[in-house]
Amino acid sequence: MEPKININHSAHFSWLSRWPQWTGYAAAIWSLLYGLLGLYWLFGGTRFPFGKSDLRGKMMGSFLSDLNVEVGGTVIATAGLVGTVVAFAMISTWGRRIPIVILLSFAWIKSVTLVLIVPDARIVQNFAYLFLLHFDLIDWRVANQVFCIVGGFIWGASALVYFRLTRNACVNCGRKDVSEGSSAKSAAPQWGKWFTYLAVILAFPYGIVRWAWALGIPLGTNNIAIVGNEDIVITEAILGGLCIGGGILTLGLIQRWGEIFPRWCLFLAGKQIPIWIVVAPATFISAIITITGLKLSPSIIYMMVNGTITIENWGKLVPFLSWLPWGISLGIAILAYYLRRRGRCKHCGKL
């Protein structure tokens, strides 16, 4: 089957609404740049971001803390240069000679690897510290992880476009016929509501512990020095507030105030909230929560098994066990919100 490209080129659409046209090129450019970085590291370049030189890697749950530059540089260079070819194959006519399953498999694997495997807990750590105006931990390794997450989302978008092309569906909304869109929209509120509630509940364990420490309550800790300490009260209150506040905001995915600006928004009051204002940041938050849960959960479970974590000191790490299901359930809730709110496609006209 040969995919047919059917993209509306109307001039009045913004560059963002024309994302199916440029994500393939963006994936090719990103892969080429990172592939060249791999070659640079392989041939003696400095600042290889993984392996034994990364002293905080294991502590932050990195899956690549034992990766040496010889293997890592080779893999990065190869994956980058091959990725450049694959990206162009997905948007060029000569790519039709390559089996669809090969191109799609490569694209999805690369997306998942860049978003979930390469980054570690430093992403969410530095995101939280931005609210504390603390930038000291942002270094080249953190910048590399952010670059990889961006590349992962670009590759995910490219894979989605190519998948839709192979189905002869609209590359912007993914719908092939009217009934497909209407059935997805009608079903979304049913399962989206429960995943939203689950995401809200799972957001609270970490926040409750941090707020308890800020209030001087030694919940899950025998380190009295950190409880009620004036120097860290604000820090604990903000870190806890980010989770609890995020959980409360998650309710907006199923509430009217998540679709219509409330009265206190002044001149915006009563106007419809653009769907991307909710979906874009919420998707990013879902991703970094999932990354953190995925990276920290194995070591936390191991410490619980070997007795390092006990009933006396569980508060620092055990609440992170809720983060992996929290991130996943939040992602599903966001998908339901998107399916419920999306209207008629401006490109194919399907509702």
Query: What average pLDDT does the segment 145-161 reach?
Result: 97
Query: What average pLDDT does the segment 114-133 reach?
Result: 95
The answer to whether residues 141 and 206 belong to one domain is no
Residue 343 is predicted with a pLDDT of 81
Does a structural domain hold residue 85?
Answer: yes
| pLDDT band for position 181 (cuts 50, 70, 90) | low
Task: Give, in order, the Cα–Cα distances in Å from 133 to each of 68, 136, 241, 244.
Answer: 34, 9, 15, 20
Does a structural domain hold residue 174?
Answer: no
The answer to whether residues 50 and 161 belong to one domain is yes
The answer to whether residues 101 and 196 belong to one domain is no
Residue 77 is predicted with a pLDDT of 97
The answer to whether residues 206 and 135 belong to one domain is no
Residue 270 is predicted with a pLDDT of 87
The answer to whether residues 256 and 136 belong to one domain is no
Q: What is the pLDDT of residues 7-31, one digit of tens each?
A: 444 444 477 778 999 999 999 999 9
pTM attached to this predicted model = 0.89
Residue 290 is predicted with a pLDDT of 97
Give the whole-number percent of the chain exceeding pLDDT 70. 91
Does a structural domain hold residue 175?
Answer: no
Q: Mean pLDDT over all residues of the chain?
A: 90
Residue 297 is predicted with a pLDDT of 97
The answer to whether residues 196 and 105 belong to one domain is no
In DSSP terms, 272 is beta-bridged to 260
The answer to whether residues 335 and 221 belong to one domain is yes
Residue 292 is predicted with a pLDDT of 97
| pLDDT band for position 148 (cuts 50, 70, 90) | very high
CA torsion angle for 115, 121, 123, 128 (degrees, to 10)?
A: 140
Residue 227 is predicted with a pLDDT of 63
| pLDDT band for position 228 (cuts 50, 70, 90) | low
Query: What average pLDDT does the segment 205-230 reach?
Result: 84
Report how far residue 210's alpha carbon sits from residue 232's, in angstroms, rounded to the nearest whole number. 10
The answer to whether residues 136 and 285 belong to one domain is no
Please determine, for residue 186, whether its predicted confidence score (pLDDT) is greater than 80.
no
Domain membership of residue 58 as a residue range: 19-166
Residue 9 is predicted with a pLDDT of 41
Please determine, for residue 3, whether its predicted confidence score (pLDDT) is greater than 60.
no
Does a structural domain hold residue 348?
Answer: no
| Residue at a domain's end among 132, 166, 200 | 166
Specify the 3-state DSSP secondary structure of 260. strand
Please determine, for residue 231, whether its predicted confidence score (pLDDT) is greater than 80.
no
Does a structural domain hold residue 6?
Answer: no
Of 98-112, 120-134, 334-348, the one with minimum mean pLDDT is 334-348
Report how far residue 141's alpha carbon sits from residue 57's, in angstroms, rounded to the nearest whole number. 10
**What is the domain count for the chain?**
2
CB 210 within 8 A of CB 204: no
Both tokens of 276, joined, read 């991307």
Please determine, for residue 4, whether its predicted confidence score (pLDDT) is greater than 50.
no
| Residue at a domain's end among 166, 192, 218 | 166
Q: What is the pLDDT of residues 295-340, one digit of tens each?
A: 999 999 999 999 999 999 999 999 999 999 999 999 999 999 998 9
Please determine, for residue 216, whether its predicted confidence score (pLDDT) is greater than 90.
no
The answer to whether residues 56 and 185 belong to one domain is no
CB 275 within 8 A of CB 283: no
Tell me which H or E stretch contains 144: helix 140-166
| DSSP symbols for 265-307 | GGGGTTSBPPHHHHHHHHHHHHHHHHHHHHHHHHHHHHHHHTT
Specify the 3-state DSSP secondary structure of 249. helix
The answer to whether residues 111 and 67 belong to one domain is yes
The answer to whether residues 185 and 331 belong to one domain is yes
Query: What average pLDDT does the segment 137-145 reach?
Result: 96
> Cα dihedral sign for 113, 116, 117, 121?
positive
| Residue at a domain's end among 140, 166, 192 | 166
Does a structural domain hold residue 346?
Answer: no
| DSSP symbols for 208-244 | HHHHHHHTT--TT---GGGSS-HHHHHHHHHHHHHHH
Specify the 3-state DSSP secondary structure of 63. coil
Does a structural domain hold residue 332?
Answer: yes
Query: In a 10 Å sphere around its CB, with 0-12 CB exposed, 13-18 middle and 19+ buried, how is residue 4 labelled?
Result: exposed
The answer to whether residues 268 and 337 belong to one domain is yes
Does a structural domain hold residue 172?
Answer: no
